[in-house]
Structure 1
Amino acid sequence: MDSDSDFEPHIDESDDESWELESETSDSDEITDTESDITNTSSSSAYSTNDTADKTSPKRARSPLDGDDGPPRSLPPFRPGRVQGFQLPDEIRTRTEKSRYLSVVEFFQMFFTLDVVGRLCEYTNESAHTTGISKPEMYKGWFDVEPEEFYRFLALLMYMGILPAPSVERFYSAKSLYNGLWARAFMEKKRFQQLLSFLKVSNREREDPKNKLAKVTFLLEFIQRRCQNLFQPGRNLAIDERMVRNKGRYSFRQYIRDKPTKWGMKLWVIADPETGYTYNFDVYLGKDTGMQGDGGLAYNVVMKLVKRLAGKGYRIFFDNFYTTVKLLKDLFMIGIGACGTILSNRRGFPTELKNVKEFEKGSKRGDYRWSRDEEVLTVQWRDNKTISVMSTFHEANSTVKVTRRTKVDNKFERIEVKQPIAIKDYNKYMGGVDRSDQLINKYHGLRKTNKFWKTLFLHMIDISRVNSYILFNDWRSKNKDVLELRRPNRYTQLDFTEELIRDLAKIALYAQVPVASMHIYHVCHSIIPVVSAKRRNCKLCYDKYQQEKKTNVKCDGCGVHLCFVKKRNCLLAYHTR
């Protein structure tokens, strides 16, 4: 097998050497010069097979009756350099080290490693001691967080994703309907609120003021590298945008009307269509971030995401937002095939295919026509409406049979029509990012916050959880003889997440339901009522009922004014809620 260095990205037109073309046909493909069910093209105004009719036009739309010689050069053979699927981390070399990957938590900790969590603990502790002065109530009773507790914190965030409740208070409520939830088995409510409040993902002193993502860059870059290093995708990949919900105020907040999540941050994502694995991503920071460049925003986004894939024969699928002739040709020059839908008004679209209305009048469902500009093939297919696809690795007349329902004599009947392979492959592989989004959003741990970087932190947990689920399943399929890796045949994402939460929080499978404790975290002092010189609002009455009830009694331990009368003992209720 040739090494990646053998591939030359800048092609000399005079070079007689060519890459080997791999066949796109399958048993169901039909590549033929005569199609009996295609309409008589000589009478159609959309395209003509009569050579004499084309003397006044430099190019014409090609029909299925025309042969396709293919591009002058083909893509390099697919040589990724690694076996498809899970890749052991670089530091794992011996058989003993390999055998230790037997539990779900070990796969999650490949993303949130002990070193990374240690740094997050360091930044969070520093944040608590630095900003605690401005949050005295929250800072009271603070003690430094250690990695073991931080993993429990991550587990609790995931638990709140699989079992959502309206608020954090409901998870800890002792009232009916909510009593018996397991949040207090992870940590007390006040401690969870402290960690969420003082959470920090960066070193404040080293933050670059020009970097909009400075508060979370360290974690984003680490998860990006891990996503790419731990998994070898198949030949086909999809690129699309992903919306992460957050309605806070920041300069790069986006609104996309057609997305299920309309407000939030936009991430450019490249994902594996077979598994939904998030292979690479990049956060969109707005038009003023230098991503426009000479080729435009979409061009630069794609080139940045596929940087590690050059020269290895990958095939990328994307929609009409990204598709341009320049992008497809430049990807081809670096050894990457591309396929995407395109609108007829896009620059570079073949002139001979722009008369879409004429084509629809002179054709029936299943008819297609095409045009080739060296390596770029444009196929136009008539379905319910006309669809145009550009590709650098398909043949024009490669087709498959598909079933469609159509109305004949006021009755719906199923008919078979021909579909170009380029469109079949696009429909099959373009949904990679959508599949990844479905896996992530099913049990996402996002919480309402006006700080965008906290939302990104929570999204990194979700990406790590879903990717580790995919890696674990792949590892199980390759080690079926290992007893510790055996799971039910239908081992779902929910099963994996529940097992991961238990392992991180060290909760037994059949542990007893936790009960509300009278001695909760923030009672770290004696509850002694003392008379104050000033009357102030009872804190519990005001916070809980928005009532201004004055009292001159306060707790000697914490200094909080609370009612202490026969009918209303807020002093006790406040310290035992």
Structure 2
Amino acid sequence: MWRLQVHIAQGRQASVVQFSALKTILATGQFKNAGHTSTLALLAQGCAGCAKPTSKCESDSDQMPAAKRARTLSWKAMTDVDQVVQTLRFLPAREPGPHLSAADSRSPMSLFKLFFTESAVTNLCHNTNAQAARSIAKGRKYKWTDVSVDELYRYIGLVFYMAAVKMSSIADYWRQDSLFSLPFPATVMPRDRYRIISWNVHMSHPDADKENDRKRGTAQHDRLFRIKPLMNTIRLACKAFYHPRRNLAVKERLVACRANIGMTAYMKAKLTKFKFFVLSDSSNGYTVDFSVYTGKNSFPADRGLSYDAVMSLLDRKLLGSGYHVYMDDFYTSHKLLTDLFAQKFGACGTYRDQRKDFPKTAANSLSRSSGRGSIRWIRDGPLVCVKWMDTQVVSVCSTIHAAYTGERVQRKIKAQDTWKTKSFPCPAPVIAYNQHMGGVDLSDQLLQYYTAQHKTMKWYRKIFLHFLDIAANNAFILHKELHGNMTHDQFMEELIAELCGLSQKAAPKQFSTDHVPIPGAELTSDVRRIATVGRRICVHCKAVLGKKQQTPWKCKACDVHLCLQLNRNCFQEWHKSL
């Protein structure tokens, strides 16, 4: 016979573990004594002194506010063992990677056209022509002919060419009197034509813009109206042709702009900038999705900009579940990480100590005297908060990792005037954060190598240029995933050549400046004989037409006589064959 002594103190609540055990004993019927049975039944029905059912007592700690729980917890040391509450299964909605046939050989331009489709460029041409007509009606003095789809692709090719070959101004690309003259842009389109297209390129129809502008100040006004047609096309393409791998990164991307329209973010000692919230694949920097910051009330959920920005980018139906999302301290909050975990998304990020619901207790915490490599952690349900002493305290929280699993990092330290490499313990969330947050940094690096950004007067043209950057960068990553036989330089060269209607293998012909017409003999002072002195048979007329036409002109470099008349330009025809 088991003997059990139960002490009941008024106003004192028994522990959850004790009452759970009592319920089990009562259910198994191990006690036959009626007194014992009645006592256990009473305890199982409610806690002593509180008259609450046991199930409610068990959930009291869960119902306690997160801030209160954080204050009651104390920091644990590296030697204490931590375990992840639940490991999420990775169940993507589609097979991760490019959703294009690897057997088909795809050119850079065909991949770029996945994002800038011909239908999207046709719409762009329509709106650009309408904008130019509107500008001319307002009194702008320039000659305009409607831009075609092929011409707009050539224009985009020149934009990328200028991103690869840097000059101080647009006009310098067409200068022919300089040591640094570039022959290529003039073979694609004239300088004035390029400028006029740049002034008028438009993503929405001007008449629809006017209608939207009349709603300014009301709930019906759409701040992104001028960029939405193209933005929606590119966002859909980013999601359609590639499904991300497990590790994702969320970060902001800034595009410099001098416009003051209420949608830009002010950065101290920097230009005003447009802010993009970007979701990228950490493995290669592919831009999976993005949104544009339009002010404090960007998102209808109104749970805070950082919370809503992340939630708007993570679509469980589209992505699947079990993804690991990494973010910096701008986004990380206790509520965001716990809500993501409830939706089957793991998350990890640096956090700010003053943020709501994060541990603020000083019990056993790190101090200024803590040695490098010291670790403290607190687990609150699925969320673990870790502090690590590097050169300064690093605060990271995660719903994916255990606090410390034995990893170490190398750091250089100075001892006796010499630098030595020493190994220090490092928390698992810190190592994973450093590894996977590089995805957005990689994406930004690829964009900066060949960024199409240049000065423009209109804010929406700045965003148009950034859309070009996103399309070219994602096209390069798709090409690398499918074929992997081109560097970034080679990819951009081939893309520019194809957009401009040229073959990369057949580079544009470069004529020497010595190929100029000069008189065939020294000029005489007798004006009556100027047109006849030095006349010789044109080599082109004789070789091609079989005629002996005489001309006073010859080529300085070739030293052959060639006709140069309004109705017979043998000089030009001859040099075409060189």
Using the size of structure 1 for normalisation, the TM-score is 0.71
Q: Are the aligned partners of 1:310 and 1:335 in contact in 2 as well (CA < 8 Å)?
A: no
Aligned to 1:205: 207
Aligned to 2:494: 499
Within the candidate set 346, 358, 381, 1:337 is matched to: 346
Structure 1 CA distance for aligned equivalents of residues 488 and 362 of structure 2: 45
Partner amino acid for 2:237?
R
Report the alpha carbon displacement of residue 410 of structure 1 after superposing the two structures with TM: 4.5
Q: Tell me the secondary structure at the aligned position of residue 91 of structure 2.
A: coil
Report the alpha carbon displacement of residue 514 of structure 1 after superposing the two structures with TM: 7.2
CA displacement, residues 436-478 of structure 1 (integer Å, 9 cap, x when unaligned): 111111111112112110011111011100110000111114x
Runs of 4+ in 1 over 4 A off after TM superposition: 98-101, 308-311, 353-356
Partner amino acid for 1:300?
D
Structure 2 CA distance for aligned equivalents of residues 101 and 198 of structure 1: 36
Q: Tell me the secondary structure at the aligned position of residue 359 of structure 1.
A: coil
Structure 2 CA distance for aligned equivalents of residues 434 and 449 of structure 1: 26
Matched, 1:256 2:251: no
Partner amino acid for 1:190?
D
Identify unmatched segments of 5+ residues in structure 2: 1-70, 214-220, 514-578
Distance 1:186 1:340, change over 3 A: same
Structure 1 CA distance for aligned equivalents of residues 403 and 104 of structure 2: 50
Report the alpha carbon displacement of residue 63 of structure 1 after superposing the two structures with TM: 1.6
CA displacement, residues 218-250 of structure 1 (integer Å, 9 cap, x when unaligned): 111111111111112211111111111111232
Report the alpha carbon displacement of residue 292 of structure 1 after superposing the two structures with TM: 7.2
Partner amino acid for 2:181?
N
Distance 1:224 1:249, change over 3 A: same
Report the alpha carbon displacement of residue 274 of structure 1 after superposing the two structures with TM: 1.9
Q: Tell me the secondary structure at the aligned position of residue 322 of structure 1.
A: coil
Identify unmatched segments of 5+ residues in structure 1: 1-56, 89-94, 478-486, 517-577
Matched, 1:458 2:465: yes
* Residue correspondences, number: 431
Q: Are the aligned partners of 1:379 and 1:389 in contact in 2 as well (CA < 8 Å)?
A: yes
Within the candidate set 281, 295, 304, 1:296 is matched to: 304
Q: Are the aligned partners of 2:249 and 2:282 in contact in 1 as well (CA < 8 Å)?
A: yes
Matched, 1:74 2:81: no
Structure 2 CA distance for aligned equivalents of residues 289 and 365 of structure 1: 42
Distance 1:169 1:157, change over 3 A: same
Distance 1:58 1:247, change over 3 A: closer
Q: Are the aligned partners of 1:299 and 1:322 in contact in 2 as well (CA < 8 Å)?
A: yes
Matched, 1:84 2:92: no
Structure 1 CA distance for aligned equivalents of residues 106 and 152 of structure 2: 22
Matched, 1:240 2:251: yes
Partner amino acid for 1:337?
G
Q: Tell me the secondary structure at the aligned position of residue 200 of structure 1.
A: coil
Within the candidate set 367, 375, 379, 1:359 is matched to: 367
Partner amino acid for 1:493?
H
Distance 1:81 1:178, change over 3 A: same
Query: Where does 1:147-226 land on structure 2 (aligned, <5 Å)?
Result: 147-207=149-209, 208-209=212-213, 210-226=221-237
CA displacement, residues 125-154 of structure 1 (integer Å, 9 cap, x when unaligned): 22222322224422x2x2221111111011
Q: Bigger shift: 340-349 or 149-158?
A: 340-349
Bigger RCO (CA 8 Å, 6+ sep) = 1
Q: Tell me the secondary structure at the aligned position of residue 367 of structure 2.
A: helix
Distance 1:515 1:507, change over 3 A: farther
Q: Are the aligned partners of 1:248 and 1:452 in contact in 2 as well (CA < 8 Å)?
A: yes
Distance 1:425 1:178, change over 3 A: same
Aligned to 2:136: 132
Report the alpha carbon displacement of residue 68 of structure 1 after superposing the two structures with TM: 1.9
Structure 2 CA distance for aligned equivalents of residues 331 and 292 of structure 1: 15
Partner amino acid for 1:286?
G
Structure 2 CA distance for aligned equivalents of residues 446 and 195 of structure 1: 16
Q: Tell me the secondary structure at the aligned position of residue 234 of structure 1.
A: coil
Distance 1:205 1:133, change over 3 A: closer
CA displacement, residues 175-225 of structure 1 (integer Å, 9 cap, x when unaligned): 122433311111111211221122111123334341111111111111111
Distance 1:282 1:514, change over 3 A: farther
Q: Are the aligned partners of 2:299 and 2:309 in contact in 1 as well (CA < 8 Å)?
A: no
Structure 2 CA distance for aligned equivalents of residues 219 and 408 of structure 1: 58
Distance 1:434 1:353, change over 3 A: farther
Q: Are the aligned partners of 1:246 and 1:455 in contact in 2 as well (CA < 8 Å)?
A: yes
Structure 2 CA distance for aligned equivalents of residues 354 and 493 of structure 1: 52
Q: Bigger shift: 415-424 or 189-198?
A: 189-198
Q: Bigger shift: 366-375 or 225-234?
A: 225-234
Report the alpha carbon displacement of residue 80 of structure 1 after superposing the two structures with TM: 1.2
CA displacement, residues 492-513 of structure 1 (integer Å, 9 cap, x when unaligned): 2121111001011122332203
Aligned to 2:475: 468
Within the candidate set 270, 290, 293, 1:284 is matched to: 293
Structure 2 CA distance for aligned equivalents of residues 369 and 148 of structure 1: 61
Q: Which has the larger radius of gyration?
A: 2
Distance 1:354 1:161, change over 3 A: farther
Q: Tell me the secondary structure at the aligned position of residue 365 of structure 1.
A: coil
Q: Tell me the secondary structure at the aligned position of residue 106 of structure 2.
A: coil
Report the alpha carbon displacement of residue 325 of structure 1 after superposing the two structures with TM: 0.5
Aligned to 1:326: 335
Q: Tell me the secondary structure at the aligned position of residue 76 of structure 2.
A: coil
Q: Tell me the secondary structure at the aligned position of residue 399 of structure 1.
A: coil
Query: Where does 1:24-43 land on structure 2 (aligned, <5 Å)?
Result: none
Partner amino acid for 1:119?
N
Partner amino acid for 1:132?
I
Structure 2 CA distance for aligned equivalents of residues 265 and 310 of structure 1: 27
